[in-house]
Amino acid sequence: MTMKKNLLFAGALMMASLSMMAQTKVGGISESMIQQMAKSQNGGAANKALFNAIAANNIDDLVKNHANEAPVDTHFSIETPAQSIHNQKSSGRCWMFSGFNVLRSNFALNDKQGRVVEYSQDYLFFYDQLEKANLMLQGVIDLGKKSIEDPQVQFFFKNPLNDGGTFCGVADLASKYGLVPMSAQPETYSSNNTSKMSRLISSKLREYGLELRKMVSQGKKPAAIQARKGEMLAQVYHMLSLTLGEPVKEFTYAFRDKDGKQIGEAKKYTPKSFYEETVGKDLNGTFLMVMNDPRRPYHKTYEVEYDRHTYDGHNWKYLNLPMEEIAQLAIASLKDGHKMYSSYDVGKQLDRKRGYLALDNFDYASLFNTSFPMNKADRIATFESGSTHAMTLSAVDLDANGKPVKWKVENSWGADNGFSGCFIMTNDWFNEYMFRLVVNKKYASEKLLKEFDQKPTMLTPDDPLFQLED
């Protein structure tokens, strides 16, 4: 063998050796592992039939528990008055729809003239987006001396704008900007389909954020930085006005009853005067936000840093409680006729057609010959589950001992979705996938109110529980 051939042979051996080492590196998938995986499969006709079925069908259609197909019991021992169902369409505004459901329900419940109201989501959404843009830009200024790789700085550039939120946003925005009826400012294509508008404004905000960071690093005077931020927000305002419409400043409106009959004469209103007539007071300070997070100690208060709708508004602040205590708060409110803002991981075990949520709607475990044993704490910790969708808690069914059997919520996916626009959920499902409740403070004990007022533990918005409610 020539020297050249020897060298080529040695090189080939080395490459083969290196290849084998790469294949057998600890932590990688080796050829022997693949072989073992293949051997572990149950062959035969049954597996082939399963593959053929799964390959040609929606998995949910195959695993639907037909033993659970009896008509859903729609009786509720405690139920608040029904109201119209709205549709958020392709937007992440569930928090606003649910919050408005509560406000208009409270108005109808307390109004002696039998009047009802439908609030404009488009109007308040305009200011929500403008305020979130300012929150992002001011946050970038506040953190301007930190590295762009700092987690707090990255939070703002990663999430310059979104249309998700919580009831805190309804409270802060409505008290600041007022409310208008739906007829005074109807929905637009972009309010119902927010993705393109949001992406374009987000792009401008990232660009503006870099510019503001540069001004901070150059030691520009605060007044100059604020002036430039004002110019940036003017551009955002312009983009919002073209997509959502200029917010109305004054309008003429006549109230109607639930059957559409006009009550009283039409009057002129401003958003603030309409808020005063239909809500009447600042919502902040009137409600208690509670959550169920079994990862953390109960009866402790927590706050989510920088996670709010307005720079001068309120962060999420909540009292962590066991589900049994959350249920008792909800029952007390429903007995008094008051609906509540609440949030869930609604996609889990959802029978959308029937509007029914139960832990045994779909048997995925049997189909794949496995189990899904994680508890609620494990699901939160691993991003498997979280508070993702707000709905309005409207009814509960109690057994002879006063224990909840099932619950009903008003959703914001249209009246033709689910059970006439509502979802019915078993109490077992409620315990596993319900996370947040906003309830009037008058239904809470002095003990709970004192716990809510304790100094909160500050959390970061990237916690797995705080997924955007949309």
Residues with a catalytic annotation lie at 94, 389, 411
CB contact at 8 A, 346 and 388: yes
Retrieve residue 232's tokens: 């940036």
Closest CA to 131 of 249, 274, 240: 240
Which of 16-20's residues contact partners 24+ apart within 8 Å by CB, and which partners? none
* Residue labelled with tokens 């998700």: 164
Determine what percent of the chain falls in helix, strand and coil, rounding each to the nearest 5. 45, 15, 40
**Which are the contacts of 211, defined by CB distance < 8 A and separation ≥ 6?**
228, 232
CB contact at 8 A, 442 and 361: no
Closest CA to 194 of 98, 289, 88, 290: 88
* Residue labelled with tokens 């040609």: 56
CB contact at 8 A, 380 and 293: yes
Q: Can you tell me whether residue 323 is helix, strand or coil?
A: helix
What is the phi/psi pair of residue 204, to 5°? -65, -40
Retrieve residue 228's tokens: 């430039």
Any idea of the CA torsion for 431, 102, 122, 157, to the nearest 10 degrees? -40
Pairing of strands 404-410, 422-426: antiparallel
